[in-house]
């Protein structure tokens, strides 16, 4: 059995029979977890272990663990700052900001890896233009070069901890006010005016970026369809001009920004035809089942290889992250920037 192109969610902190039945279907490639799926690091590790044991190759397990207001697992995990805070630290001291970005990426990935989680969909590299509340403090900065520098440091930290980074939301969600969770945003800028939004992606791609998540935003100057359903954006711009060779991930197909592509099955077919490798369907079990049915005959070996490369490679085996020789140093960087006393991490 191979990894399918569909990533779905589960309802609770443990798998039930309907979850197991769905996750064993060939079209499933992974599971995305939310706060409702978390009670403790021990419970999380048991849940992820059961998900991994269901199939061979094991399903990918992902989460949004960006820091700030988007951190699904909190108690028992390090409280991470929002990306904007990292950007402000950079403005005060560039070297310190870079150290903080790398430390946050490393700590986040180490803690998730210890529980067996393969991926966090991070970092956000949208430009903070003050227009979109859905992005807001999830963005590092207004300046594209600073976003690129900090995202590169964050990705470096993740990589050192054995986790593949996913930059989002390509080509950029920062130029629209509407939230694609509840609307279909339209960015009416000319294509050259999007260069600043795309610049951080070019920088990260040059450093081996493993995955990109697409924006449910349409840019009529390029294509009337949202970017995640657009061959022009995925195949011509992202893979062609920018030379991206990693995995392309859709944003949640159940979001309002995806509705222009039709029903759930039509959205899935459209995203795959445009060049996506992995499709998210969240908080809609009926929709997930419809997509799984619609994709029964789908096969794309190149996509499967790209997905396999997203597997987490936690460096410590069964040892906790606190046993890593860099743990105290990375935590000290975070504590210093937050203005907190250094934690007692000797135990």
Catalytic residues: 181, 251
3-state secondary structure the chain: CCCCCEEECCCCCCCCHHHHHHHCCCCEEEEEECHHHCCCHHHHHHHHHHHHHCCCCCCEEEECEEECCEECCCCCCCCCCCHHHHHHHHHHCHHHHHHHHHHHHHHHHHHHHHCCCCEECCCECCCCCCCCCCCHHHCCCCCHHHHHHHHHHHHHHHHHCCCCCEEEEECCCCCCCCCCCCCCCECCCCHHHHHHHHHHHHHHHHCCCCEEEECCCEECCCEEEEHHHCHHHHHHHHHHHCCCCCEEECCCCCCHHHHHHCCHHHHHHHHHHHCCCEEEECCCHHHHHHHHHHCCCCCCHHHHHHHHCCCCCCCCCCCCHHHCCCHHHHHHHHHHHHCCCCCCCCC
């Amino acid at each position: 059995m191979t990894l399918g192109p569909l990533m779905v969610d589960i309802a609770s902190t443990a798998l039930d029979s309907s979850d197991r039945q769905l996750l064993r279907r060939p079209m499933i490639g992974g599971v995305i977890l939310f706060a409702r799926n978390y009670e403790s690091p021990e419970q999380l590790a048991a849940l992820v272990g059961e998900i991994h044991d269901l199939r061979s190759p094991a399903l990918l397990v992902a989460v949004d663990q960006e820091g700030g207001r988007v951190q699904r697992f909190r108690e028992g995990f390090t409280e991470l700052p929002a990306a904007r805070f990292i950007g402000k630290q950079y403005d005060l001291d560039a070297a310190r900001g870079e150290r903080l970005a790398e430390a946050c990426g490393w700590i986040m990935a180490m803690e998730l890896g210890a529980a067996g989680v393969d991926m966090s969909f991070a970092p956000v590299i949208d430009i903070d233009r003050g227009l979109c509340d859905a992005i807001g403090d999830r963005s590092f900065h207004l300046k594209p070069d600073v976003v690129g520098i900090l995202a590169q440091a964050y990705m470096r930290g993740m990589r050192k901890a054995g986790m593949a980074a996913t930059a989002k939301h390509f080509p950029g969600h920062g130029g629209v006010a509407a939230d694609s969770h509840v609307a279909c945003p339209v960015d009416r800028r000319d294509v050259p005016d999007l260069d600043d939004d795309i610049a951080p992606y070019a920088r990260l791609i040059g450093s081996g970026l493993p995955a990109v998540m697409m924006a449910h935003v349409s840019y009529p100057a390029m294509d009337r369809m949202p970017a995640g359903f657009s061959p022009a954006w995925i195949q011509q711009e992202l893979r062609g001009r920018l030379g991206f060779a990693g995995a392309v991930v859709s944003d949640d197909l159940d979001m309002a920004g995806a509705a222009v592509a039709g029903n759930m099955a039509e959205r899935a077919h459209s995203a795959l035809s445009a060049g996506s490798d992995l499709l998210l369907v969240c908080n809609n079990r009926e929709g997930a089942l419809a997509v799984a049915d619609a994709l029964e005959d789908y096969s794309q070996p190149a996509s499967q290889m790209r997905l396999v490369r997203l597997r987490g490679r936690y460096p410590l085996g069964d040892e906790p992250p606190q046993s890593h020789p860099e743990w105290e140093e990375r935590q000290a960087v975070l504590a210093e920037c937050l203005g907190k006393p250094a934690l007692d991490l000797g135990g």
